[in-house]
């Protein structure tokens, strides 16, 4: 008698758990899709809250069905809703497995080589308190949390038709610093100092610098310490659009950064021309009109979000840098990230990608509004260009 009761109950729980996973897959996709498009800070917060509530709602709804459901009595309004919801969620599971498999099967584009990966020890930073104050400081210092444990990642990239003068040209990519108090300003100063020891020729920054107008005052004491041989280039991100972007652009220009927001220009790098452009949509209207840019010249594009990869490939961009998605911040073993604010979801999570001739690097970023990272340390990326390689 007891066995006859337990078997259907256990089966019901197992089925509900599997369907809940599928439910989470659908919610994650919709969150990634919509959050990657919204302009308003309040609308973005609303989508996050709504998806959080929807994630925990199914167990309560299914509990309302009671024993009648697992006993086969499905011909009720709640039963029909649950059946439809369950079928949709079950169909989402193969998609989850396919995306996960494709993620692990992914290889770097031709010509990309990892040269060095150095994990920095925050105990070596002269400042004792790096995590700010209060709850954020407590979170930052949890043993599993990698928020205060950044990496310096160095790659080389062979590119066809690269001007000989650019052989050995070094670029430093920064993204998603998210100044908001955790980590502290001294932590950023220390990390950027380690990156500067590699003596970059170009510094490229792909947005989300501040999480509050108060933190504009950090710009001079952090990015203002950077040095470069040729140029520093920047675009803004969605968080920057919420906290005084005009003032932020003025601060960056005073420091010597070229603001590329939805524009392009030709700069001289080691005596050779380079087309550089920035795209900040959907948060700032417009896009660079590369149709008017000189042909047969190397094209470098900065974008806050990786969602513009197809656009870059269409416009014959050679090299693109992006951030925005933070690599997911929390990445499960063998599975990868959960939440990715991109309409491509986990397909463009971090690292190297290629479409057409365009090679894209997506940074994990240095900071984040939520100071929690697992299997996804913050990073400064340095790239050395080399002549050679094959045409895609």
For 78-127, the DSSP string reads HHHHHHHHHHHHHHHHHHHHHHHHHHHH--PPTTEEEEEEEE--GGGSS-
pLDDT category, 62, cuts 50, 70, 90? low
pLDDT category, 378, cuts 50, 70, 90? very high
Least confident of 1-5, 96-100, 295-299: 1-5
The pLDDT tens digits for 160-184 are 889 999 999 999 999 999 999 899 9
Reply yes or no on whether the pLDDT at 39 is more than 80: no
Mean pLDDT for the stretch of residues 129-143: 81
**Cα separation, 92 vs 87, whole angstroms:** 9
Mean pLDDT for the stretch of residues 49-60: 75
Angle (CA) 368 372 376, round 5°: 85
Residue 61 pLDDT: 64
Q: 285-288: long-range contacts (C-beta < 8 A, 24 or more apart)? A: 286/262, 287/262, 287/311, 288/260, 288/262, 288/263, 288/264
Residue 249 pLDDT: 97
Instruction: Quote the crossing angle between the two packed helices 2-35 and 77-105, to the nearest 10°.
Output: 60
User: pTM (2 decimals)?
Assistant: 0.89
Least confident of 72-81, 108-117, 146-155, 362-371: 72-81
Of the chain, the percentage scoring pLDDT greater than 90 comes to: 57
Collapsing DSSP to helix, strand or coil, 392 comes out as coil
Q: Give the residue with greater pLDDT, 21 vs 113.
A: 113
Reply yes or no on whether the pLDDT at 295 is more than 90: no
Which residue matches tokens 């900071």? 367
Provide DSSP, 227-238: --SSEEEE---H
Reply yes or no on whether the pLDDT at 317 is more than 90: yes
Residue 9 pLDDT: 62
**Cα separation, 356 vs 164, whole angstroms:** 23
Bridge partner list, 300: 276, 319
Reply yes or no on whether the pLDDT at 35 is more than 90: no
- Write down the mean pLDDT value for the chain: 87
The pLDDT tens digits for 194-226 are 999 999 999 999 999 999 999 999 999 999 999
User: Shortest CA distance to 122 belongs to which of 135, 141, 94, 103?
Assistant: 141
Q: Which fold has domain 112-387?
A: Purple Acid Phosphatase; chain A, domain 2 (3.60.21)
Domain boundaries of the chain, sorted by first residue: 2-104, 112-387
pLDDT category, 13, cuts 50, 70, 90? confident
Residue 1 pLDDT: 47
């Amino acid at each position: 008698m007891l066995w006859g009761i337990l078997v259907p109950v256990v089966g019901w729980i197992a089925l509900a758990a599997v369907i809940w996973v599928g439910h989470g897959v659908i919610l994650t996709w919709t969150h990634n899709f919509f959050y990657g498009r919204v302009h308003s800070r309040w609308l973005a917060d609303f989508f996050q809250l709504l998806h959080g509530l929807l994630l925990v709602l199914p167990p309560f709804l299914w509990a309302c069905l009671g024993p009648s459901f697992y006993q086969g009595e499905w011909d009720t309004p709640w039963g029909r809703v649950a059946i439809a919801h369950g079928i949709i969620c079950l169909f989402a599971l193969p998609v989850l497995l396919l995306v996960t498999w494709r993620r692990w099967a992914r290889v770097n584009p031709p010509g990309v080589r990892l040269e060095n990966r150095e994990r920095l020890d925050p105990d070596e930073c002269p400042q004792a308190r790096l995590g700010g104050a209060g709850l954020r400081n407590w979170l930052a210092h949890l043993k599993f949390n990698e928020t205060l444990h950044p990496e310096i990642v160095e790659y080389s990239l062979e590119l066809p038709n690269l001007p000989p003068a650019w052989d050995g040209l070094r670029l430093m990519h920064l993204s998603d610093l998210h100044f908001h108090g955790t980590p502290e300003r001294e932590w950023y100063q220390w990390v950027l100092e380690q990156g500067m020891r590699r003596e970059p020729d170009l510094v490229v920054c792909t947005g989300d610098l501040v999480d509050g107008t108060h933190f504009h005052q950090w710009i001079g004491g952090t990015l203002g310490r950077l040095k470069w041989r040729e140029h520093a280039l920047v675009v803004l991100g969605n968080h920057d659009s919420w906290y005084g972007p005009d003032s932020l652009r003025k601060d960056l220009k005073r420091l010597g950064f070229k603001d590329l927001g939805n524009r392009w220009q030709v700069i001289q790098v080691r005596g050779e021309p380079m087309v550089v452009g920035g795209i900040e949509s959907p948060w700032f209207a417009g896009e660079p009109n590369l149709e008017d840019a000189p042909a047969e010249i190397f094209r470098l594009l900065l974008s806050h979000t990786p969602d513009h990869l197809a656009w870059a490939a269409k416009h014959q961009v050679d090299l693109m840098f992006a951030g925005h998605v933070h690599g997911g911040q929390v990445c499960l073993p063998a599975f990868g990230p959960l939440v990715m604010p991109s309409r491509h979801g986990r397909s463009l999570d971090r690292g190297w990608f290629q479409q057409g001739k365009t090679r894209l690097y997506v940074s994990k970023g240095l900071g984040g509004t939520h100071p929690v990272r697992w299997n996804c340390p913050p990073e400064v990326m340095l790239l050395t260009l080399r002549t050679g390689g094959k045409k895609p």
